[in-house]
Chains A and B, each alone.
Chain A
Amino acid sequence: MKSSLFHDIRLVFRKEMKSALRFRAAWAAMLMFALTTLACVSLAVQGGGLSPRLLAALYWTVLFFAFMAGIDRVFEAEDSAGTLLALRVYAPADAVLFGKLLYTWLLLLVLAVPLTLAFLLLMDVTVVTPLVLFLLVLLGCWGMAAAGTLVAALGLGASVRGSLAPILLMPLMLPVFLPAIFVTSGAFGAEAASLSFLFGMGLYDAVLTVGASVLFPHLWYAD
């Protein structure tokens, strides 16, 4: 049973990857949104002079809103093609959730690499503890992907889907967002924050993942 679920997850993930390679506009839009926002901020502050705390807040804000620019696309391919019912019939809810979650996580990580490099370059930031920043990005992106996948499913059938996702996601993301900013400011040279916050983020990510897997079948299967 477990290997079958794993197989189904892999199939959904592969479908998402193929779809993403076919419609590259979603990736490009998220990346360009992030880079444009970052360029605007860098231009406004003329490149530097900000405190590590403010830099950390800017970094996560840009990453979060870039993600928001693409989150409603998680189920859009099936919704616009009219294949949602086929996916409902052929794939178990857990496979759909985790296949899409893994894809969204990968998408966010791919987005985070150029964004982080551009951020460090344009804002003249030195990373004191690169490993901590790496772990933060992994955990932060997982939290956003877990909550984002469920929220994207919530928006199916909504009349105002595009603007709904950030409204639904923001309160759920604060427990990831605030410790991430706190620890990132340490990685950017402020007084180092306790690494127990990383553990807390990991724990919250796990809670979000379990919560999403328990609740998603209720959304996926109609009455």
Chain B
Amino acid sequence: MNRKKILGVFLAVLTLAVLCAVFFLVPPAEGLDYYVRIAFFHIPMAWVSVLAFLLSAWWGARYLRSRDMRFDRLSARSARLGLIFVLLATASGAVFSKLTWGAYWNWDPRQTTIFVLLLIYGAYLTLRAALGEARLRARASAVYALFSFLTVPFLVFILPRLYFSLHPSPVINGSGSIDMDTSMLLTLLASLADGTLLYAFLMAGGSGRDIRKEESA
């Protein structure tokens, strides 16, 4: 069995375990009741969409340094996957928001952050579609991926100071301690690992297909 198949089997088992934990192990959360189950889907999706953005910029930088088209393919694939994950994070967040705050969207700082990420992914892929020549496309999209990454400190540090947030506290609260039931925390960590492995699995699966697509273009 090759490495990819082993990863696939492990991923399937882990996903099943996380689903069982979410539906049979995790207790209802204070103020959120069983709606908290959405968080075990939403948080990993949001995490992977940020990770994919970071890695897309990283591979963009590697491309600019080496001019190796392999890095451009990785950067583009990461952005495509990132777009899917960010759409899932936005949709699950909107459903959670409707169930707990009564509205699908209210421009909460974290909703704004995810929306900006969605815009960046959309812009990056639009730029790639608008540029025909492969080398020019690789150069321009690497530059845009890195340039748009400059917004991250603002989104993380300044935006939450501008607007009031209804969003539940992060896992690690302001005093530096973890305020969460143990089973809930373990399930969340497992779901984060599951989301990250899913991203790695999808990244590994696409490289050959991307090369064939590029060669036929």
Contact surface of A with B, Cβ cutoff 8 Å: 147, 150, 154-155, 157-161, 164, 167-168, 170-172, 174-175, 178-179, 182, 197, 200, 204, 207-208, 211-212, 215, 218-219, 222-223
- Assembly CA distance A140 to B155 (angstroms): 17
Query: When each residue 143-166 of chain B gets 1 if its CB lies under 8 Å from chain A and 0 otherwise, what string results?
Result: 110111011011100110010000
Give min CB distance, B147 to chain A, whole Å.
6
Across-interface contacts of A147 in B (CB, < 8 A): 147
Across-interface contacts of A200 in B (CB, < 8 A): 154, 158
- Assembly CA distance A200 to B157 (angstroms): 10
B144 near A171 with CB under 8 A, answer no
Give min CB distance, B195 to chain A, whole Å.
23
A219 near B143 with CB under 8 A, answer yes
A218 near B158 with CB under 8 A, answer no
A158 near B143 with CB under 8 A, answer no
Across-interface contacts of A159 in B (CB, < 8 A): 130-132
Instruction: Identify the interface centre among B119, B147, B155: most chain A CB within 10 Å of its CB.
Output: B147
How many A-B pairs fall under 8 Å by CB?
Answer: 85
Give min CB distance, B51 to chain A, whole Å.
18
- Assembly CA distance A175 to B116 (angstroms): 10
Per a CB cutoff under 8 Å, which of B120, B133, B139, B158 touches A175? B158
**Extra inter-chain contacts (7) besides given A157-B132, A211-B146, CB under 8 Å:** A167-B126, A168-B123, A170-B123, A179-B162, A212-B147, A222-B136, A223-B139
B139 near A218 with CB under 8 A, answer yes
B143 near A215 with CB under 8 A, answer yes
Residue ID in chain A nearest B65 by CB atoms: A218
